[in-house]
A and B are shown apart, each in its own frame.
Chain A
Amino acid sequence: MRSSRRQMLLATVLGWGAALLLFFPIFWMVLTSFKSEIAAIATPPQFLFAPTLESYAEVQERADYLHFALNSVLISVGGTLLALAFAIPAAYAMAFHPTARTRSTLLWMLSTKMLPPVGVLVPIYLLFRSLGILDTRSGLVVIYALMNLPIVVWMLFTFFKEVPGEILEAGRMDGARTGSEFWHLLLPLSVPGIASTALLSLILCWNEAFWSLNLTTSEAAPLTTFIASFSSPQGLFFAKLSAASTIAVAPILVFGWLSQRQLVRGLTFGAVK
């Protein structure tokens, strides 16, 4: 009894500690965004200061936030939809018509995530240039979809695996062909899984910086590029950078907060029901 209470206390303290540690940078970023540039670099750091909106005003003046935000939304949604369009049939085939090589195919797909993206930057860049899709939204949609495809297939595969095969077989006996089986049975039964997969993919796309920084300049640039444009080699920029970051991550933070139940389910790969 005693020891279990002590364990509870320990777990609580550790949990809060980890949460605060993870949350602190975000908190500090938001705090800094309301400081003046001088206050932002003060040592020792200031917790008490006169809040100001001047950084936000300046960020608004220097760049068109809505343009970048719209790009982020379009590219994230587009990349996610494209990934789902390929991943759903792939996961369906692997979950319900597995062959001797299904497992290794899945592992191989995941292994592509182990390659550092910078390793293929030059070929991809040259490819994009020849195709004339540098700094286009469709170019980024394609690269985001490819980037997330392995993880999206994996997640959908595990969700589909949870659907009892006999239900689909019953559907086949009832005269359902592949299309109907999919629309009337598999899809309704795995909506929660597909939703959490899509959520995770949206968040990964939204926060992606490597490809967007390297493949876009202005036309198709999403919010991650917008943030980066506020870091400059000289002058005082911390408050402005923080303000830009805050308004860039705010939408996805709110989105994540609203959908956290779905997300937890997705991130545990369907292990908990």
Chain B
Amino acid sequence: MATLQLRNLRKSYLAHEVIKGVDLEVADREFVVFVGPSGCGKSTLLRMIAGLEEITSGDLLIDGQRVNEVGPADRGLAMVFQSYALYPHMTVRDNMGFALRMAGVPKPERARKVAEAARILQLEPYLDRRPKELSGGQRQRVAIGRAIVRNPRIFLFDEPLSNLDAALRGQMRIELARLHEDLQATMIYVTHDQVEAMTLADKIVVLQAGRVEQVGSPLELYHHPANLFVAGFIGSPRMNLLEARVLGADGAGVMLEAAGARLTVPAGGASRPGAAVTLGIRPEALRPDPAGAFAGEVRLVERLGGLTLLHVTLVGGEAVVVQIEGSDPTPAHAPVRLGVEGAACHVFDAEGQALPALGRHPLAA
């Protein structure tokens, strides 16, 4: 059992506020990912949970107990650092056994637990090596092993894969997912990589400038972004954003005009006719269609084999990206019409807040 609650958590460095009131509930065994651009406060928030940064105000509760004043050594959490932070003067065995040694665990039990973790992480051949004699991937495993051995209440990860090359990163991501399933542990994971966030998380927390922009499951964030920031941050290629004008609203949704086309988006909220809004369309929601509402010209085609990306400039000059499954025959420099389902569109008001969708995506309950 390990739950975590953050209540209006704040952090200031002198007069500079870095974390501006974060509320969050983390359930037992949940895999929570903090994601956001560099400098938004992800690491700071994680380190506040770890006890490595003092909490300026607000409450931090682990299993219902307020732990603001409890030191990092006594919170029962384990952390994997971006730099791995292995003890350079100790062997892999001693690195992994250090926490148990600090806890006064007898030697035979220590050896047994280290051996067990080494087996899970396939580190057995390296137990007597020092960190500098290991590759990046192996060091990463040792850092994870050091956390596993302790059987902590909560695992904390700060961008653990960002120092690995792309191939290894993909592999470690899968191993982390498996580890979470095997250990049935609560994990909090910081990354700026949205692929890691989407694939690993039960729950994603999108942060920007020290504030939570949205909390939800990966598909909830993808299909129902709460605001322009989340809409632009989650998804690759990015969501296409077009300036639009409200024509009217009825039970079926909002009627809009954008880039010379008219369409109805099933979204609610009070929007007066004439109001300026932003229309958001995911690249995969657009498709070439002779009867489509948008007209434009293909500027560039990127053929990835399994996917084709069309870079299209609409008649009004707006640039959009269209993502098509498979190898699409559309040539570059050809006129094209693009169609879209109103249900796949998003509307954001002048403040950047999403108008509530009338229906929910079936996988984003």
**Residues on A facing B (Cβ under 8 Å):** 164, 166-167, 169-177, 180, 184-185, 188-189
Contacts and interface: CB of A to CB of B under 8 A. Distances in A.
A176 B98 CA distance: 9
A171 B52 contact: no
Contacts of A175: 73-74, 99, 102-103, 150
Interface string B91-111: 000000011001100000000
A175 B70 CA distance: 12
21 contacts: A166-B83, A167-B86, A169-B52, A169-B81, A170-B79, A170-B81, A170-B85, A172-B52, A172-B72, A172-B73, A173-B50, A174-B73, A174-B98, A174-B150, A175-B99, A176-B98, A176-B102, A177-B73, A184-B98, A185-B87, A189-B88
B150 A167 contact: no
Nearest to B158: A166
Given A167-B88, A185-B87, A173 B77 contact: yes
A180 B79 contact: no
Given A164-B83, A166-B83, A180-B102, A173 B78 contact: yes
A170 B88 CA distance: 12
B16 interface: no
A175 B71 CA distance: 9
B114 to A, nearest CB: 13
A184 B98 CA distance: 9
Contact of B87 (A167, A172, A173, A177): A167
Nearest to B143: A170
Nearest to A168: B85
Nearest to B149: A174
A189 to B, nearest CB: 6
Given A167-B88, A173-B50, 6 more contacts: A170-B87, A171-B87, A174-B78, A174-B98, A174-B150, A188-B89
B191 to A, nearest CB: 18
B146 interface: yes
A174 B145 CA distance: 12
Interface of B: 50-52, 71-74, 77-79, 81, 83, 85-89, 98-99, 102-103, 146, 150
Interface residues of chain A: helix, strand, loop or mixed (majority): helix
A180 B101 CA distance: 10
A173 B88 contact: no
B167 to A, nearest CB: 26
B76 to A, nearest CB: 9
B85 A166 contact: yes
A217 to B, nearest CB: 47
Contacts of A171: 87, 98
A172 B98 CA distance: 11
Contact of B85 (A164, A180, A184, A188): A164
Nearest to B81: A166
Contact of B89 (A172, A176, A177, A189): A189
A36 B197 CA distance: 86
Contacts of B52: 169, 172-173
Contacts of A177: 71, 73
A174 B146 contact: yes
A38 B169 CA distance: 82
Contacts of A170: 79, 81, 85-87, 146
Contacts of B150: 174-175
A185 to B, nearest CB: 6
Contacts of A184: 98
Contacts of B71: 172, 177
Most buried by A among B51, B71, B74, B85: B85
A166 B88 CA distance: 12
A188 B88 CA distance: 10
Given A167-B88, A171-B98, A176 B81 contact: no
Contacts of A164: 83, 85
A173 B77 CA distance: 7
Nearest to B104: A175
Given A169-B52, A171-B98, A176 B73 contact: yes
